[in-house]
Amino acid sequence: MRKVRVAPKGMGLNDFVAQEEGFFAAEGIEVEFDWKTFRGTQSSWKGKDYLSRPQDKPYTEAKDASLIQCACVWGSISNASAGMGRFVPDCYGVSPWAIFVRADSKIRRPGDLKDVPVSVGLRAGSHFNVPFRLEKYLPLEHIRIVNTGGFGARLKALLEGEVEAASLLPPQIDMARQLGLRKIIEDEFHTLWWVPETAPVDDVRAYLRGLERAERALESNLKKYLHLWKSAIPPEFENLHPWDFDRFTRGERFVYQPIPRAEFDAVFTQVERWGLDQYLKERTFENLVYRV
């Protein structure tokens, strides 16, 4: 059986369901999760610039030729443009996103976030979503972010009073609810799979088919799989609270349909407007995609 390495991002259950139910094996692959990269993306990124984040190192240091990852639509396209792999345009994910504050915060609506640094992970979904959503309520010059890092680090910073607001993704959104934190704004965004240019096409294709099988299983019986969220809880949070996984929500959904081309074009316009285009190089669609 062909071995395939995957760094889960922990925003959805599909990877864990496909592994538990044998969907990957049914597609002829043995998936090995890269827990080092995964836990790294959950941890603090303070002092780390773009190209030195945990998810960048397979490209900038290890020169990994096959690791499959997934990031927000802005991140995956920007990473490919900067020379780190290519993005898969043939499918996408749909993930929840939200900004939370502590229960005693004076912040109650998006406009109250004027000049308030929001905890994010640099140039990742938690970052790009902040200007994307808040520019409806605030001028860009009054939208502030602080690079805390992965979603475990952001939730920890909020709980400990290091920041006043944090941009959160699944399952931290459900964790924040169970911890009594207050939601200020929520929405959804797209994610894209992101692979090295040299990754074997048959392996990537088999992996995505496994995710699709998992999607059907989740749609059929979500409650059966909610306990698998335990795999996505950062170690430092495992014993912080008696997590009720039955009350967790679905998280990211997998859609095996092409991402609209207009969304690709919009990404470059948006990151330029937000001043996040410094590392972009290649911008031609066909030179950035990995076809399966």
The answer on pLDDT for 284 being more than 80 is yes
The answer on pLDDT for 48 being more than 90 is no
Alpha carbon distance 24, 208 (integer Å):
9
Q: Which CATH number does the domain housing residue 149 bear? A: 3.40.190.10
The predicted pLDDT at position 43 comes to: 74
Residue length of the chain: 292
Alpha carbon distance 2, 19 (integer Å):
14
Which of 140, 164, 188 lies at the terminal end of a domain, its last residue?
Answer: 188
The predicted pLDDT at position 253 comes to: 98
Segment 168-202, tens digit of pLDDT = 999 999 999 999 999 999 999 999 999 999 999 99
Strand ranges inside 129-262, DSSP E: 144-147, 165-168, 182-195, 253-255
Higher pLDDT, 255 or 52: 255
Which amino acid is it at 146? V
Residue 180 shares a structural domain with residue 115: yes
- Mean pLDDT (whole number) for 229-246: 94
The predicted pLDDT at position 132 comes to: 98
Record the pTM: 0.94
Residue 219 shares a structural domain with residue 274: yes
Which of 188, 211, 238 lies at the terminal end of a domain, its last residue?
Answer: 188
Segment 114-170, tens digit of pLDDT = 999 999 998 999 999 999 999 999 999 999 999 998 888 999 999 999 999 999 999
Residue 53 shares a structural domain with residue 179: no
The predicted pLDDT at position 59 comes to: 83
Closest to 266 (Cα-Cα) out of 155, 128, 115, 59: 128
The predicted pLDDT at position 230 comes to: 96
Closest to 215 (Cα-Cα) out of 2, 21, 74, 72: 21
Which amino acid is it at 251? G
Instruction: Judge contact between 225 and 17, C-beta under 8 A.
Output: yes
Residue 163 shares a structural domain with residue 210: no
Residue 278 shares a structural domain with residue 239: yes
Which of 155, 188, 221 lies at the terminal end of a domain, its last residue?
Answer: 188
Higher pLDDT, 271 or 36: 271
Residue 55 shares a structural domain with residue 180: no
- Mean pLDDT (whole number) for 253-269: 97
- Mean pLDDT (whole number) for 70-85: 95
- Mean pLDDT (whole number) for 67-76: 94
For the chain, how are helix, strand and coil distributed in percent, rounded to 5? 40, 20, 40
Residue 115 shares a structural domain with residue 184: yes
Alpha carbon distance 207, 13 (integer Å):
14
Residue 195 shares a structural domain with residue 88: yes
Residue 89 shares a structural domain with residue 204: yes
Range of the domain at 54: 2-94+190-288
Alpha carbon distance 217, 197 (integer Å):
30
Peptide bond preceding 171 in cis form (omega within 30 of 0): yes
The predicted pLDDT at position 88 comes to: 98
Counting the structural domains of the chain, the total is 2
Closest to 151 (Cα-Cα) out of 59, 236, 63, 52: 236
Residue 34 shares a structural domain with residue 177: no
The predicted pLDDT at position 53 comes to: 85
Residue 119 shares a structural domain with residue 226: no
- Indicate the pairing of strand 92-101 with strand 86-87: unpaired
Residue 108 shares a structural domain with residue 59: no
**CA 240 from centroid of its chain's CA atoms:** 23
Rounded to a whole number, what is the largest CA-CA distance in the chain? 56
